[in-house]
Structure 1
């Protein structure tokens, strides 16, 4: 088994880095940075940027948007993406600040323990690991829905093929996972921009009706707000499901080269990505697809609104092309979820929450046991044989969406405690990346995010539906139950939140290596074309 702690050579390097930063040798000994992980830092800036985009453009956007349109109408869809987008943007600033300082694979789940309490760390780790396990299952279930566009071939055969393929991608070298995500993400980005062009053409009159559409569907029947506030509030969890994955870029921090530069760049680009990939997409879909279009969302079938728009401007082949892209995108989302979930399972073991069975690394430094266990739980997708594919996907979407909201809320809480601790110890100046929105950004995430968690199931109360109620709020019980379990059963009620003065700001603190410092100096000296090439081509292509 590969050791999780630094070797003597690693510790010596840490001291050298301290000396390089200007600390005297005795100070370096006192402030020796202790590392809790030994994962392979093989992910480059271009891959990290594309992994983030891969997390953005996934099942929620391609299939979930159709369900949202059918439930709430075009304006509810657009406003929900804008509102949740603001919450996510501030959350990412909070997360980026901590991840640049402490780039570990557990990310915010590790910070919850370090700057919160053991019980909080356990609860959010279990919550988010369960989130990713359900995400793998949701994506494999969505694959069944997407393939139904072409054939009624046995769904379980399709699921098994893709299920095994995901395992293969995640147990070999991390670069294989990263390169697969990179090219799939690039395909998704290109297709989104093609979709924008096709949407404009479709709206202008190149459609099966041969007429200008404009904003016709915004005043169609009950649009733009279908079912009023009930319909509007019910979309929050679907929007949260669609945005899920943005925060998981921080889970790759432990395997990222030069994370104190790469992660802030990625976080700063979040706002633009939200506008392009969510707001623009929702706007064009609402303009070109009526909310009552057949099969947007049923218990057995779910056709992507992207596929519908492509169908309207051309032959069956155009729709098939878009559906193929949706298929690959859903596969990419499953790959992304399995990667993130396995790192969380690994982190559960490194922090001592579960047995050390998840700790072994293979020769590629991949936590293969964690990958396999997370992958096996993803087999929940086969439950569609009992409840129907569309119904199962709706349940999984609700669970994952609410889990995302809870995770973002915790990130806001931990960010506030993190900053309070730094201020108490007089170490705020050490931040490698500062969250410019503090304290209002984290407070907004905590207060408004908490409000959304409570009202997202409003539609289940009138008329009251037991099935819909549990679908909307089942996940809300997981987090407090896990917290209370660790606090009452394991810690016997003695677990307390870490005092600001006692917070650990040294373990895993990132210090640049001499090579990284040299690269930073070289980057700062670049001008003109060379600077553009470094910032764009070298980091994205």
Structure 2
């Protein structure tokens, strides 16, 4: 007979590996430690979405697609990410494990599917780290072209490796403060952009919407230019979904992850859409240095220059530089945890599960960082061009992840329904079933058309590879693993919906008194 109290029944669900899910005060030396606070998790979510793609990628998007393409494509991708986060939050709150949506793909669809997705996303994070290191050189060119192309990148690489290998608290704290600085910069930028648009600038006067009709605007480059902005937007939003990767090291994930999903995205979405709108209004698509193969200037820096302050422009460029460091720090963290998950699931050698005394997967961190520095070394051929290629690869990888999350969500719900466990969900995706379906169909369409510019007006083989390289590799990995391991499609009635489920007994009791109130206020400010 079903329980009369579904909430109580949900809390009574047991786990086959309870030490891993225990209170942060109970430590299992063989597993990752739940040491990230709600404050840090919230800012990590922001760091994953506000990074190189927004501060630097919007310049390329404006130059290649025009102001209307910039706004429309960023809005469409924002909608996809919103639905994806709702689907992911529902699963991660129920089963908070390291590897998150990659683990879900294997558990609810097919082990070969999870294998391919996890390796794909690990590669995504390694390349993202490299792309952020390359972006540093582009930003430094704002001040000088004489800085060696490798010096700053290597220095930052050492910094983020140390932050990730010391302990997870060091990573979380660094990410928190860098993210806070980025949020403040975005707010100032939006306010300043409004002032610039109505006349608070040097040499432009009242701008209004005149740049939306100047030259080839509002759409530049035709359908090819419009379609190419999708991959730039996907690169910019990429990282939002990786917040669920922190589930294995987050305190009270059943309570904190839904908060992240419901509250953070709206702020990020607001930042992206308003920023895209103001950039398109205030900066002409043919602004010198906005997007070339040799250099790129952040639209955020240009806006402060237009306001008449070279010093302010330098300050913002420095802030943008710190945001790139933050994005690289986050990508290295996510990539190392996925490599740890690969080792734990038998998809990679067990050596990647080795932990330090502070329960940090040091072999996974070292391996991911080495791959990143190898890709970074390719920037000797021209940092601007390499950054574009890396951005395309990462953008497509992000899109594949969103498609897989949508498919996993549909299968997850099918399993819950088949086993009569839908009432156990601590957080529900209110867009199910249409949300995941729209996400899968729309993203699949975007993946196919966004490389239009590599075909027209002439075929560009290198660009074509950067747009479509991920697709055959992903399919090939599924086929090879399925043939080698004889994996089977997960039947809804046979899905594992018990292991790693988070329970009430695992939750940290709320603090009382002034400490409890101070934590609530701090968490609310972050949200």
Residues 514 and 332 of structure 1, relative CA distance in 2, 3 Å threshold = closer
Q: Aligned equivalents of 1:211 and 1:388: distance in 2?
A: 36
Residues 500 and 28 of structure 1, relative CA distance in 2, 3 Å threshold = closer
Q: Aligned equivalents of 2:388 and 2:399: distance in 1?
A: 17
1:532 Cα shift? 8.8
1:286 aligned partner: 280
Residues 415 and 515 of structure 1, relative CA distance in 2, 3 Å threshold = closer
Q: Aligned equivalents of 1:183 and 1:259: distance in 2?
A: 22
Q: Which residue of the other structure, out of 96, 113, 135, is the alignment partner of 1:142?
A: 135
The answer to whether the aligner puts 1:92 opposite 2:77 as a matched pair is: no
- Contact residue 234 and residue 459 of structure 1 kept, 8 A: yes
Residues 506 and 28 of structure 1, relative CA distance in 2, 3 Å threshold = closer
The answer to whether the aligner puts 1:101 opposite 2:94 as a matched pair is: yes
Q: Aligned equivalents of 1:23 and 1:478: distance in 2?
A: 40
- 1:372-521 aligned within 5 A: 372-379=366-373, 380-385=375-380, 387-463=381-457, 464-488=459-483, 490-491=484-485, 494-513=486-505, 516=508, 518-519=509-510
The answer to whether the aligner puts 1:55 opposite 2:48 as a matched pair is: yes
Residues 501 and 34 of structure 1, relative CA distance in 2, 3 Å threshold = farther
1:365 Cα shift? 0.7
1:34 Cα shift? 5.3
Q: Aligned equivalents of 2:71 and 2:427: distance in 1?
A: 31
1:234 counterpart SS class: helix
2:3 aligned partner: none
Q: Aligned equivalents of 2:295 and 2:322: distance in 1?
A: 18
- Contact residue 33 and residue 506 of structure 1 kept, 8 A: no
Residues 226 and 536 of structure 1, relative CA distance in 2, 3 Å threshold = farther
- Contact residue 35 and residue 507 of structure 1 kept, 8 A: no
Question: After superposition, what is the alpha-carbon deviation per residue over 1:251-279, rounded to whole angstroms, capped at 9, x for unaligned?
Answer: 00010011011100110124422432110
Aligned length: 508
2:469 counterpart SS class: helix
Residues 169 and 364 of structure 1, relative CA distance in 2, 3 Å threshold = same
1:315 Cα shift? 2.8
Question: After superposition, what is the alpha-carbon deviation per residue over 1:416-468, rounded to whole angstroms, capped at 9, x for unaligned?
Answer: 00000110011111111111110001101111111111111122222322222
1:332 Cα shift? 0.3
Q: Which segment drifts farther, 306-315 or 249-258?
A: 306-315
2:401 counterpart SS class: helix
- 1:314-393 aligned within 5 A: 314-379=308-373, 380-385=375-380, 387-393=381-387
Q: Aligned equivalents of 1:299 and 1:281: distance in 2?
A: 24
1:515 Cα shift? 5.7
- Contact residue 252 and residue 506 of structure 2 kept, 8 A: no
- Contact residue 50 and residue 540 of structure 1 kept, 8 A: no
Question: After superposition, what is the alpha-carbon deviation per residue over 1:155-192, rounded to whole angstroms, capped at 9, x for unaligned?
Answer: 11111111111111111121111111000010001110
Q: Give the TM-score taking structure 1 as reference length.
A: 0.90
- Contact residue 45 and residue 539 of structure 1 kept, 8 A: no
- 1:10-25 aligned within 5 A: none
Q: Which residue of the other structure, out of 80, 92, 105, is the alignment partner of 1:112?
A: 105
Q: Aligned equivalents of 1:239 and 1:538: distance in 2?
A: 29
Q: Aligned equivalents of 1:162 and 1:311: distance in 2?
A: 27
1:293 Cα shift? 0.6
Q: Which residue of the other structure, out of 156, 175, 181, is the alignment partner of 2:175?
A: 181
2:23 aligned partner: none
2:25 aligned partner: none
Superposition CA RMSD, Å: 2.2
- Contact residue 111 and residue 414 of structure 1 kept, 8 A: yes
Q: Aligned equivalents of 2:506 and 2:36: distance in 1?
A: 19
- Contact residue 105 and residue 343 of structure 1 kept, 8 A: yes
- Contact residue 90 and residue 428 of structure 2 kept, 8 A: yes
Q: Aligned equivalents of 1:279 and 1:298: distance in 2?
A: 24
Q: Aligned equivalents of 1:259 and 1:287: distance in 2?
A: 40
Question: After superposition, what is the alpha-carbon deviation per residue over 1:104-140, rounded to whole angstroms, capped at 9, x for unaligned?
Answer: 1100000111111111011000100000000000000
